[in-house]
Amino acid sequence: MGVLVLAVGLLSGCTPFGESKLQMVKKAGELLVLTRNSPTTYYQGPVGPAGIEYDLARAFAKHLGVALRIEVADRSRDIVPMIANNQADFAAAGLAITPDRLKVVRFTPPYQHVYEQLVYRDGTTPPKNLDALQGQVIDVVAGSSYVERLKQLRQRYPGLTWKTVHDAEAEDLLIEVQQKQALFTVADSNIVALNRPFYPDIKVAFNLGPADNLAWAFPISNDNSLYNAAVKFLDHMRRSGKLAALIRRYYSIRESFRPMNIEAYKQKLKTTLPTYKPLFQTFGRKYHIDWRLLAAMAYQESFWDPNAVSPTGVRGMMMLTLPTASNLHIADPFTPAGSIDGGAEYLRDMINQLPSHIPEPDRTWMALAAYNVGINHLEDARILAQKLGGNPDSWKDVRKRLPLLAMHAWYPKTKYGYARGYEPVEYVRRIRIYYNVLVKLDRELRANDRNGALHLRAPAM
């Protein structure tokens, strides 16, 4: 009789005690969501978990009044089978709705539309259409929706050829195209948009077809309680405009990572910097940091705009998050003085957390990278540098390993997982350029004015 009751309960989608899936989640006080490490889904940012799927799932958990528990799949192709086997409440992993996937899981209505794009490297003759790809090999992620799309297209283009790559994600293959290790790949338009500022040589040839619909994936069940709650929640997010705001937040390219304009910077050295120079000097002395380095950082962060707002909602000249400002006991991080004070203190904290034996200027460059990506991810890169025969105390060696944190072949081997490791490398590179220009100008001014203000010694380059 007990077995019969259990069987009836499973067929109805309820527990033997008549609880629905939604009731079970609320009773447990926890929502288990399966995702993957990537900039378009979930990753550990400098101040904690981030990613559009993470933020959306966290908002849903809050709506239900429960805690969110994230589980990260080792490989993208494992996610759908894991959901089909009820290994999580649902998957929030940037999954496209495809005919093959609909056979084993059910999807919510879509919350985002993306295009599958053929990507090539600048300098390669761009193919105008699929006919031009006859005889060429396209590298694609094994088990992805891209493979399904190519199989459909091969019915019309029999010469279409591709190679499935197993231990890789779409981001990895974009890097291979950038580094001339692959001729072509396919990636979703949102993934391409996030990576292009850091891999400027990757170009889009064309879309492979109409837009794909991204949605949450649930196990197939007769119990619709949690599924229906998710559908209603996503509909509310869409109608309220919160979903569109979240998408803009993650996919709007940060102005500070657009192509550098040194002439515009030189002009602002004359027109804008004099207003804030006393503040940079004051807090440079307070935290024993070259004021010109603080000024270069602030320009990279906000172009010296005290009212700047990033796509992620961070504000102020030094783009401090509210949790960071609170930890630093900065009363008003949105005033120029408060922002520069907090930014300088945070940079000093990064410097102090690094091993004391790291020499300058490597110590400063690593601290800048930690300011951007977080001290834990920097430590992961230092460990990788050592394992790969490099010097973990050399910025030159560490900067080569930071991009590995965004590659599936490497980040699972690290303690803190995926990070957009290419971003801190570019971040430090730009600050060093701005710093060098400012140092040169400052020396010229001091040569013309021996009674100028106090200038701290610049770290050796």
How far apart, in whole angstroms, are the C-alpha atoms of residue 68 and residue 267?
48
Alpha helices of 303-409 — where are they, by DSSP H?
322-327, 336-353, 362-373, 375-387, 395-401
Give the residue carrying structure tokens 């560490």: 398
Give the residue carrying structure tokens 């978990």: 49
How far apart, in whole angstroms, are the C-alpha atoms of residue 368 and residue 419?
16
Q: Is 427 helix (H, G, I), strand (E, B) or coil?
A: helix
Length of the chain: 461
How far apart, in whole angstroms, are the C-alpha atoms of residue 283 and residue 376?
26
Instruction: Name the pairing type of β-strands 112-114 and 43-45.
Output: unpaired
C-alpha R_g of the chain: 25
Q: What are phi and psi of 202, to 5 degrees?
A: -80, 135
Torsion of CA 259, 260, 263, 268, to 10 degrees: 120
What is the token pair recorded at 319? 């783009």
Q: How far apart are the first and last CA of the chain?
A: 79
255 catalytic residue (yes or no): no
How far apart, in whole angstroms, are the C-alpha atoms of residue 311 and residue 430?
20
Q: Which of 116, 169, 171, 301 is catalytic?
A: 301
DSSP structure string for 115-148:
-EEEEEEBTBPPPSSGGGGTT-EEEEETTSHHHH
- Report the catalytic residues: 301
